[in-house]
Amino acid sequence: MSAAPRVGLFDHPAFLEHDTGPGHPERPERLVAFERGLREAGLEGRLARRQPREADAADVLRVHSDRHLLDLEAARTARVAFDPDTPAGPRSMEAALLAAGAVTGAVDALLDGELDSALVAVRPPGHHAERDRPMGFCLLGNVAIGVAHALARGLDRVAVVDWDVHHGNGTQHAFESDPRVLFVSSHAWPFYPGTGALGEMGQGRGRGFTVNLPLPQGCGDAEYGALYEGLVGPVALSFAPQLVLVSMGFDPHADDPLAGMRVSAAGFGRLARACLAAAAPAGGRVAFVLEGGYDLDGIAGSAAEVARAALGEGESAPPPALDTRGAALLAALRSAHSGHWPVLR
């Protein structure tokens, strides 16, 4: 009988102290809901809780500019709004460095064999942060910093799967010329931030290793399930990653107030299992890193389903059958990327 998977939970009280102001959807209660979901499902005690350290400057500067760090440092002494959506206050820089450090810490724990997979419950989120500017609620590119850290440790095939409802522009731009990094993003289109068109497939030697999957609003468990089992999984397995990082946004949830998708909590469990299966060449090493998701009960239920998947508990029921529209969408996306990925032909 095989041992149960060792799953870590990376969190820190400082994440609650990043103050976005009254009425902002990216609020501390999101993390309270994440942990409530684990506790109510009886899963919290089965996870190895880890408290991260701040990412150091060398880790951050692999992804961001000196100017970016100086701009963030200014928020330690005065409240700053980097754009209308992205405020920061005196405790925000500490939270951002700890969020990035949680991802590098999870990468180390996975590569050193201490954990099999990890849940990284952080805020502020990261996938919109560009090299030289915060944006879209994000201060530092948490997942991008984790990828760069893994490459610095000697890996040469790292896959990023971003299922947040918004395109991960910052992560894409950090690695779109690097064939060592596979970036796969499913996202609503057209939608904020306006990047992630189907034709964005990478640059130079990285051409083909950016796999954008723009989706019309209204997609739910049927479309997402078919997409992840029929396209994302095969492409990732073909890439044969040594590590998988998931930008885990729960804003495609049916009850999310900022988007128009219809994924259920069980649907997120299905996506997590698809990512774990795609990580088979990496020994199942996956870090699930929180990005968006703004309905508190949706976060709670979805976090529990991802944790169950990571713990190897239960099996996903087959997704609902695709209708004609969904089948045509999947066929079009497979065809668009088949030139770079023969497995899709």
Give which of 82, 271, 286 is closest to 164, Cα–Cα: 271
| Omega cis (within 30) before 124 | yes
Q: What is the pLDDT of residues 36-45, one digit of tens each?
A: 999 999 999 9
According to the 3-state scheme, what is the secondary structure of 29-43?
HHHHHHHHHHHHCCC
Average pLDDT value for residue range 102-122: 98
Q: For residue 158, report the phi and psi dihedrals to the nearest 5 degrees.
A: -120, 130
With bands split at pLDDT 50, 70 and 90, how would you rate the model's confidence at 225?
very high
Model confidence over 130-146: pLDDT tens digits?
Answer: 999 999 999 999 999 99
Q: Where are the alpha helices (DSSP H) in the chain?
A: 29-40, 57-61, 66-73, 92-111, 142-152, 169-175, 221-227, 233-239, 265-278, 296-310, 324-337
The pLDDT value given to residue 173? 98
Residues comprising the chain, all counted: 345
pLDDT, one tens digit per residue, over 25-60 is: 999 999 999 999 999 999 999 999 999 999 999 999
67 vs 190: CA distance, rounded Å: 31
Q: Which two tokens stand for residue 321?
A: 């059958």
In 3-state terms the chain splits into helix, strand, coil percentages (rounded to 5) of 40, 15, 40
Amino acid at 198: L
Shortest CA distance to 289 belongs to which of 139, 172, 118, 165? 118
CA atoms within 13 A on the CB side of 197: 3
Average pLDDT for the chain: 97
The rounded distance, in Å, linking the Cα atoms of 344 and 328 is 15
Residue 316: is its pLDDT beyond 70? no
Bridge-based pairing of strands 80-83 and 86-88 is antiparallel
Q: Which residue, among 285, 293, 271, has the nearest Cα to 222 in the 3D structure?
A: 271
Return all residues near 68 (Cβ < 8 A) that are at least 6 apart: 131, 132, 133, 134
Buried b / exposed e over 300-325, threshold 16 CB at 10 Å, is bbbbbbbbbbbbbeeebeebeebeee
Domains of the chain: 7-344 (3.40.800.20)
pLDDT of residue 147: 99
pLDDT of amino acid 1 = 53
Distance CA 147, CA 183 (A): 11
Catalogue the active-site residues: 128
pLDDT at residue 2 greater than cutoff 80: no
Distance CA 148, CA 162 (A): 16
pLDDT confidence of residue 93:
97
Q: How far apart are CA 298 and CA 163, in angstroms?
A: 15
Rounded CA gap, 317 and 128, in Å? Answer: 33
- Decide: helix, strand or coil at residue 228: helix
Question: How far is C-alpha 59 from the geometric centre of its chain's CA atoms?
Answer: 18
Start-to-end C-alpha separation, the chain = 38
pLDDT at position 319 is 83
Cα separation values, 291 from 58, 129, 172, 211, 303, Å:
23, 12, 15, 19, 12
Tokens of 61: 């500067």
